[in-house]
Structure 1
Amino acid sequence: MRTLAALTLLLLSAVLWLHHKNGQLAQALSEASALSANQKAAMGALETRLAAALTLGRDNGRAQVALRQRLDAAGTHAARREHTITRLLHENASLRRWYDAELPDAVRQLHQRPGYASAGDDLQRLSAGEPVPDAGQ
């Protein structure tokens, strides 16, 4: 009878220990499932960001190619324009004289204008007796 009571007590303690371990394992499984769900959500967000970054990279690449083409076209146009100016200067003596002539004083003063701190500084510079030159001249 004692052995039966000891075995029953041992069996009862084993059942209680297994029940406790089962609870711990269930809690660990629940935490692992929650962690897995969080990681899946994070992976989904990262995949979305990656897709957006790849799209942005492709768009930037296309924009860079377009800008390079425009820059090349502008360089070609500038070289053609410079060549045309040089050719015209060699062909036309009056144009060559005009091109080599110094700028008028009014135009030179516009290019050499000092920086102003306020609008009043510009008024002090203008002569009261001289009208402002017409921009179309």
Structure 2
Amino acid sequence: MKVTLFLVAALIAVVLWQRHENGNLTRSFERANKVATEQKTTIGMLKSQLSVSQGIARRNETAQVSLRGELIAAGAMAVRREETITRLLNENEELHRWYGAHLPDVVRRLHTRAGCASAGHCLQRVSEGELLPDAGKRSRD
């Protein structure tokens, strides 16, 4: 009889221990499912961001090709203009003299500007009594 009671108590202890282990495994499984769901959501977001980034990269590449073509066309146009100016200067003596003449000092002074140390310096106006610097000389800082 003692052996039977001992076996029943051992079986109850094993059943309780198995129940406890089953509860632990169930909680671990739920946590693993939660982590997997979060990772699936993160993977979905990352795939979406990758798709958007690839679209932006394709548009940038297309824009660069377009701008490169425009730059080549602008360069060719500048060469044609320069050739036209050279041809006109060679054909018209009066235009050649005008093009080669020095600008009057007043005009040269208008085209000479002192460097700006900051945006605030560029906004300062030259007082009306102050003369513009000579185009051939460096300005004082």
Q: Shared fold by TM > 0.5?
A: yes
Deviations 1:64-93 (A, max 9, x none): 011101111110100110111111111111
**Structure 2 letter corresponding to 1:60:** N
Q: Which runs of 5+ in 2 are unaligned?
A: 133-141
Pick from 122, 129, 132 the counterpart of residue 124 of structure 1. Answer: 129
Secondary structure of 2:5 counterpart:
helix
- State the identity as a percent: 43
Deviations 1:83-121 (A, max 9, x none): 1111111111111111111112221011124358422x2
Distance in 2 between residues matched to 1:23 and 1:8, nearest whole Å: 22
**Which residue in the other structure is 1:2 paired with?**
2
- Comparing 22-31 with 1-10, which one deviates more in the overlay? 1-10
Deviation for aligned residue 1:38: 0.5
**Which residue in the other structure is 1:54 paired with?**
54
Q: Normalization by structure 1: what TM-score?
A: 0.85
Q: Which runs of 5+ in 1 are unaligned?
A: 128-137
Q: Normalization by structure 2: what TM-score?
A: 0.83
Distance in 1 between residues matched to 2:115 and 2:51, nearest whole Å: 50
- The list of structure 1 runs, each at least 4 consecutive aligned residues, that deviate by more than 3 angstroms after superposition, is 113-117
**Structure 2 letter corresponding to 1:8:** V
Distance in 1 between residues matched to 2:73 and 2:127, nearest whole Å: 40
**Structure 2 letter corresponding to 1:92:** N
